[in-house]
Amino acid sequence: MEYTAKFLAQLLKGTVEGDENATASKFAKIEHGRPGTLSFFANPKYEPYVYSSEASILIVDKDFQPQQAVKPTLVRVENAYSAIAELLKYTADKKKKAKRHRSLRARWFLSTKFGKRVYLGAFSYVGRKTEIGDNSIIHEHVYIGDNCKIGKNCIFHPGARIYAGTVIGDNVIIHAGACIGFDGFGNAPRPDGSWEKIEHLGNVVIGNDVEVGCNSTIDRAQMESTIIGNGVRIDNLCMIAHNCIIGDHTVMAAQTGIAGSTEVGKYCIFGGQVGIAGHLKIADHTTICAQGGVIGNIRKGGQVMVGSPVIDAKLYMKAYALFKQAAMQ
């Protein structure tokens, strides 16, 4: 869908600063803004991207005062986070109505493409305009939604759920009960203290040679994609939130949880029950021991981290020795 700045201002009860005829047809995170896209700025942490963004339209709070020149046309609203929630809901409703209208006449089963030697188990479902690669195995009671693209030699174990729009590479294994591509946990506060659900219009993209364990979950992005790199290994009962990026060949043990918009580097190792806060960056080759809690960026690669919040493992052992010694006195 294409929006003009003027229309957005009317819909969101805001004002336009710049070209009211500026148009955008896609949503993008502020750090990825480019011509033809619409972004929003609500977290002060992302202010540097306001000045480098190439987005056509940027939704901001009405009292935001830029410190440098801004390229996008600004739509000023009472609360940018609530406004983007309202706009995403409006867009999702429009898409649902268009989909229902098309489905009345579309023969969806003719649009689904299966490669050579694909196995489809009993009571499994594959949606319209979905492509399944050669030699893939879809066991019983698997759900794969519309507009998905599945690579070659993949295995979906019983009860796996793949939501619409998901892209999965070659040689991927999805174990029983795993859910991939559903809405992330996004809610905007209303003035009365209740919560407005934020629609998620992005998807999940999984690379090649990835394994996702039983009952693990990967949220779709609010906009753009949640990305799982090549060779990633995800154990059972792990949770990866919306807009995360997991670097190639990273592994995580059971009950690891990663909050939204966090970027994890390549070749990282997370022990069981590791918890990582949102909007963080974790450097390549970082090891976080079991039950580690990460609340800040880890910019130096190759470290082994322990504790909650995590610190360097050697420092932790020294501190623990003193703590233990004091407790025994």
26: domain CATH number is: 3.40.1390.10
Same structural domain for residues 123 and 238? Answer: yes
Average of pLDDT values for 188-205?
Answer: 88
Summarised one tens digit per residue, pLDDT across range 229-249 is: 999 999 999 999 999 999 999
Same domain for 167 and 286?
yes
Q: Are residues 197 and 88 in the same domain?
A: no
- To 5 degrees, how large is the angle CA 146–CA 129–CA 185? 25
Task: Tell me: do 228 and 295 sit in the same domain.
Answer: yes
Q: Are residues 89 and 211 in the same domain?
A: no
- The model's confidence at residue 104, banded by pLDDT at 50, 70 and 90, is very low
Same domain, 25 and 87: yes
Decide which of 67, 85, 103 is a domain's last residue: 103
Residues 146 and 75 in one domain: no
> Given 103, 129, 148, which residue is the final one in a domain?
103
In angstroms, the Cα distances linking 67 to 48, 64, 73 are 10, 10, 16
Distances from the Cα of 307 to the Cα of 275, 297, 304, angstroms: 11, 15, 11
- Residue 183 resides in a domain: yes
Say what the pLDDT of residue 105 is: 45
Is 242 inside a domain boundary? yes
Specify if 35 maps to a domain.
Answer: yes
List, by residue number, the catalytic residues: 242
Residue 326 lies in a domain: no
- Determine how many CB atoms are found less than 10 A away from the CB of residue 268: 24
Task: Kindly state whether residues 153 and 181 are assigned to the same domain.
Answer: yes
Per-chain mean pLDDT for the chain? 91
- Domain termination residue (choose one: 64, 79, 103): 103
Q: Are residues 97 and 116 in the same domain?
A: no
Residues 127 and 274 in one domain: yes
- The pTM of the full predicted model, rounded to 2 decimals, is 0.85
Is residue 60, in this structure, part of any structural domain at all?
A: yes
- The total domain count for the chain is 2
Domain residues for the domain of 260 are 110-319
